[in-house]
Homo-oligomer: A and B are copies of this chain.
Amino acid sequence: MEVTALSDNTRGDLFDPACPTRALLDRVGSKWTSMAVKLLAEAAPQEIRFAELRRRMPGVSQKMLATTLRALVRDGLAQRRVEPTVPPRVHYSLTPLGLSLDGPLAVLRAWAEEHMAEIDRANRDADAAG
């Protein structure tokens, strides 16, 4: 029934209810989640269709995009709206909760864009040092 363990939360392994930060990182840390949230936040209050999201997320597979979006919806961070046409069109958007998460994520994105080069440099130095 469930697609992968990303949609059901039977993990309980990486998920520690006593540490909300780890619980959050377990969700946002999955490969495509942060990019999906970013795209949906930038588009808000507009919705984005499944195919459009897929186009804007190079490399994502159908399965993983579906899984990622399903997890976001399940977590109450995103909404799903189906147009009952043939073929169906499915639109996604962030909930207020999801939108409120984009602020903190934007802070993280800004730090990453400013400082990831330093981390890469540190790694190259470590490699050079053998």
Give the size of the chain A interface in residues (CB under 8 angstroms). 45
Name the one of B25, B31, B101, B110 contacting A22, with C-beta atoms under 8 angstroms.
B31
Q: Is the CB–CB distance between A100 and B104 below 8 Å?
A: no
Known A22-B31, A24-B111, A76-B121; further 14 A-B contacts with Cβ < 8 A: A14-B31, A20-B109, A20-B113, A21-B38, A21-B112, A23-B116, A24-B112, A25-B29, A75-B123, A76-B122, A77-B122, A97-B119, A101-B111, A104-B108
Interface, chain A (partner B; CB < 8 A): 9, 14, 17, 19-29, 31, 34-35, 38, 74-77, 97, 100-101, 103-105, 107-113, 115-116, 118-123, 125-126
